Amino acid sequence: MKVPQETSDAVREESSPMTALDVTAPPEIDLDGGASLLAWLRRMRDEQPVWRDDKGNVHVFRHRDIQRIVSQPAAFSSDTVTSLSGGEREPPGGTLLLLDPPRHGKMRRLVSQAFTAKMISDLTPQITDVATGLLDDIDSDRFDLVEALANPLPVIVIASMLGVPISDRHLFQGWADDLLTIDPTAPDGPAAFGRLVGELDAYLRAHVTARRRAPHDDLIGTLVRAEVDGERLNDDDVVSFAALLLLAGHVTTSVLLGNMLLSLNTEPQRWGELRTDRSQIRAYIEEVLRCRPPFLKIERVPTADTEIAGVPVAANTMMHLWLLSANRDERVFDDPDRFVPLRPNARQVAFGHGIHYCLGAPLARLEGQIALNLMLDRFSAVRLDRDAQLSYYENRVNVFGLRRLPLASQRA
């Protein structure tokens, strides 16, 4: 979906008027780059902090309520698969986002043996080399950031981590793109999604089988050998975690990079400030994550009848917790629609909170810091290309970011 450039340039949410007051469902991001959605969320925080949609699902908008829910995994289950299938299915062990204690704790300890802070830190030279090569390939002052850098960077890094051939990155990119474009409500949606899952599963399973036959020092090989209390991950667990890292990890970093440059466009003087003082980059990225978190919302299911902000919610009701709304909550953040990189925003929830805090958050931050540093070295100025159009992900994809981000740059 495309947004007219003149509208996109005005996506300074803090100055956008509250629109679509009569809308009873979340406005689409591509209407105006998210301005109407943010206005709707603001209204819901004030007037209906807990809202039931026409499908009976419950939406929660305030920071306090969302933080309470994600801090109580026994009362609010992350396992929407088992809960909503009546116990007929359960998620594989590697899908940490969908696991509850005690299974979650054991699986996270196993996975964490392979996905350590040192391992991520040691990727710095490789990420730098990959990002430098991608930027070297840009042969024009006008380019699409998503196509040139934001999409290929995390795909190449994750492929290298997993130990699969870099030459297969086109497969990884295709699977990630399909995940974000397949419409499950379309007539052929379920079949297309089934094909995607089957192809990805078969590909990763072949690499897991190879690691069991011959040890490797890559991430898949380490996952195969990981052990806690005499228990190891089975093939399904390793495959599901590798798939989660590929798809969720790719999307998180790609969207973060796009949102970083989009945010810089609203306040062009910051480019010069960041070029002069690189110590501001970390705080800048944190404020981007607060204002424009990669994912709109996460899901939970109450394990018993409960009450949220005075509203009764029955057990096994699907609940959508709006991270974007929590990060803009006036009750927590002063002047929340204003971009303030040095604000004390430790309570932002872009990567979740509690036991399900995103395991890949340090990697996304590291890739963002390296990519932005390299772009600041290379370009004296960058802005949205006024002759092109932005293209946002649709709400159903649950991503607050761009499919296309055309830029015009000036070489340093």
Q: What is the dihedral of CA 164, 169, 174, 175, to 10 degrees?
A: 20
- C-alpha 7/C-alpha 406 separation (Å) is 14
409 touches 143 (CB < 8 A): yes
Total domains present in the chain: 1
Q: Which residue has the tokens 């599901």?
A: 240
Query: Coil, helix or strand for 143?
Result: strand
- Is the CA virtual torsion 70, 75, 79, 83 positive or negative? negative
pLDDT, position 23: 57
pLDDT, position 179: 82
* H or E segment and range at residue 382: strand 379-384
3-state SS string for 84-135: HCCCCCCCCCCCHHHCCCCHHHHHHHHHHCCCCHHHHHCCHHHHHHHHHHHH
pLDDT in tens, 77-122: 999 988 767 777 888 777 888 899 998 998 898 888 888 888 899 9
How far apart, in Å, are the Cα atoms of 310 and each of 62, 133, 276, 313, 397? 13, 54, 50, 9, 30
User: CATH no. for residue 243?
Assistant: 1.10.630.10
pLDDT in tens, the chain (412 residues): 444 443 333 344 443 333 334 557 899 998 899 999 999 999 999 999 999 999 999 999 999 999 999 999 999 999 998 876 777 788 877 788 889 999 899 889 888 888 888 889 999 999 999 999 999 999 999 999 999 999 999 999 998 999 998 888 888 888 888 888 888 778 888 898 889 889 999 999 999 999 999 988 899 999 999 887 888 889 999 999 998 888 888 889 999 999 999 998 877 789 999 999 999 999 999 999 999 999 999 999 999 999 999 999 999 999 999 999 999 999 999 999 999 988 887 789 999 999 999 988 999 999 999 999 999 999 999 999 988 888 999 998 999 999 999 999 999 8
CB atoms within 10 A of CB 218: 17
This prediction has a pTM of 0.91
Angle at 335 (CA atoms; ends 333, 336), nearest 5 degrees: 55
Give me the helices (H) in 245-345, please.
250-266, 269-276, 281-291, 323-326
Per-residue burial over 52-70, b = 16 or more CB atoms within 10 Å of its CB, e = otherwise: eeeeeebbbbbbebbbbbb
pLDDT, position 83: 72
* H or E segment and range at residue 312: strand 311-313
Residues in the chain: 412
pLDDT, position 1: 44
Domain containing 153 equals: 2-411
pLDDT, position 246: 82
> Which of 341, 343, 363, 342 is closest to 351 using CA atoms?
363
